[in-house]
Amino acid sequence: MRVEALRWLAATFPSAFDNTRQIRPLKVGIMNDILVHAEEAATAGISRGKLREAVVIFTRRIDYLASIKARETRVDLHGSPVGQVTEEEAERAATKIKKMVEKSAKNARKNLIGKSVPNHFKMTSSLSYHSESELMSYSEQFPALSAQSAFSPPAKSAPVMVKHKSARPYDPEAVARLKEKLGLSRKKEPVE
């Protein structure tokens, strides 16, 4: 479970992964350093794949991206400074933040539209990525994630309503007169 992997990382490497403290950019290639401790994680029931997923989730958070954008100093697993964030990395983080905010606003608009539709027209989704209890326990453990998270369930979309126009009968004589006025009814004369 990714939540368990995040908890294990925060407990094992609090200087790097405990978001109740300060969130700072991680060292480039930190996954290799984490995999050195994969056997310890395995004893806790956490696979290498779950460790990778946990690091991806951690680094895609808006507060982590904000620390990259601010060009804070990168840290290793023990919180020691190891390098600076480049200008290119800061720009890329700013772009990701902008996309996340735009997507969040778009989903909020969709939710508002969906709430204004009567109940019998609403579409429901039985798919959920994570149970509510799992999300609640994670947001309690990692409060900085509660505002924006990669764990948020997909937004429900508003129902689509299709309306068909009925065909109106036209007066054939009126159509012929209009075509004649517009020059559409004349037969083209052959060019010699």
Residue 71 located in a structural domain: yes
As a whole number, mean pLDDT of residues 69-77 equals: 91
Residue 187 located in a structural domain: no
Residue 181 located in a structural domain: no
Q: Which of 28, 93, 38, 98 has the alpha carbon at shortest distance from 67?
A: 93
Query: Which domain range does residue 11 map to?
Result: 2-145
The answer, yes or no, to whether residue 127 has pLDDT greater than 70, is: no
CA atoms within 13 A on the CB side of 164: 2
If one counts the domains in the chain, the total is 1
Percent of the chain topping pLDDT 90: 30
Q: What's 22's domain CATH number?
A: 1.10.1710.10
Separation of alpha carbons 67 and 188, rounded Å: 71
Query: What is the per-residue pLDDT across 8-41, written as a single tens digit (0 to 9) for each?
Result: 999 999 888 887 878 899 999 999 999 999 999 8
Query: What is the per-residue pLDDT across 134-170, written as a single tens digit (0 to 9) for each?
Result: 444 444 555 554 444 444 445 555 676 666 666 667 7
Residue 21 located in a structural domain: yes
Whole-Å CA distances, 143 to 53, 117, 126, 137, 180: 19, 33, 27, 10, 74
Query: Exposure string (b/e) for 169-182, b if CB count within 10 Å is 16 or more?
Result: eeeeeeeeeeeeee
Q: In the numeric block, which tokens belong to residue 6? A: 């995040």
Under DSSP, the state recorded for 1 is: -
Residue 186 located in a structural domain: no
